[in-house]
Structure 1
Amino acid sequence: MSLPRPLARLVVLVAALLTTLAASIVVAGSASAHVTVSSQDAAPGGYGKITFRVPNESDTARTVGLRIQIPEEAALASLRTQPVPGWTATLTTSGLEEPVENHGQDITSYVSVVEFRAEDGAGIAPGEFQEFALSGGPFPDADRLTFPAVQRYSDGSESAWIEPTVEGQEEPENPAPVLTLAAAADAGAAASATTAAAEDDEHSHAAAVEESPGALALFLAILALLVGISGVVLGWRATRRTVSS
Structure 2
Amino acid sequence: MMKKWHIMLVLSLFLSLMTGGLASAHVTVLPKETTQGSYEKFAVRVPTEKDVPTVKVEVKFPLDAVSISRFEPKPGWSYELTKDDNGKITGVIWTATGEGLGPTEFGEFYMQGKVADNATAIQWKAYQTYKDGSVVEWVGAEGSDKPASVTKVNAKPAGAATDSHGHTAPAANAGKADSAAAPSASGEPAAGAPAASGAPLYLSIAALILGALSFVVSLSRRKR
The structure that has the greater radius of gyration is 1
TM-score by length of 1: 0.67
Alignment-derived partner of residue 163 in structure 1: 140
**Unpaired segments of 5 or more residues in structure 2?**
158-174, 182-190
Q: CA RMSD in A?
A: 3.4
State how far apart, in whole Å, the 2-side matches of 1:188 and 1:84 are.
30
28 and 56 in structure 1: CA distance in 2 versus 1, 3 angstrom threshold: same
Alignment-derived partner of residue 30 in structure 1: 23
More helix by share: 1
Are the counterparts in 2 of residues 52 and 132 from structure 1 also a CA contact under 8 Å? Answer: yes
Alignment-derived partner of residue 94 in structure 2: 116
State how far apart, in whole Å, the 2-side matches of 1:56 and 1:161 are.
13
Q: What amino acid sits opposite 2:74 in the alignment?
A: V
> Equivalent residue of 2:109, what SS?
strand
Counting aligned pairs with the same residue, the percent is 27
140 and 87 in structure 1: CA distance in 2 versus 1, 3 angstrom threshold: farther
TM-score by length of 2: 0.72
Among residues 17, 31, 36, which one is paired with 1:39 in the alignment? 31
State how far apart, in whole Å, the 2-side matches of 1:188 and 1:114 are.
31
State how far apart, in whole Å, the 1-side matches of 2:32 and 2:26 are.
20
Are the counterparts in 2 of residues 62 and 153 from structure 1 also a CA contact under 8 Å? Answer: yes
Note the 1:81-230 alignment, pairs <5 A: 81-95=71-85, 109-119=87-97, 121-165=98-142, 171-184=143-156, 188-189=177-178, 191=180, 209=200, 212=201, 214-215=202-203, 217-230=205-218
Render the CA deviation track for 1:104-156: whole Å, top value 9, x for unaligned: xxxx542112110001x331011110001111225342231001000000010
Render the CA deviation track for 1:13-34: whole Å, top value 9, x for unaligned: 6566445434432322222x11
Q: What amino acid sits opposite 1:156 in the alignment?
A: G
Q: State the aligned residue count.
A: 196
Alignment-derived partner of residue 61 in structure 2: 70
187 and 231 in structure 1: CA distance in 2 versus 1, 3 angstrom threshold: farther
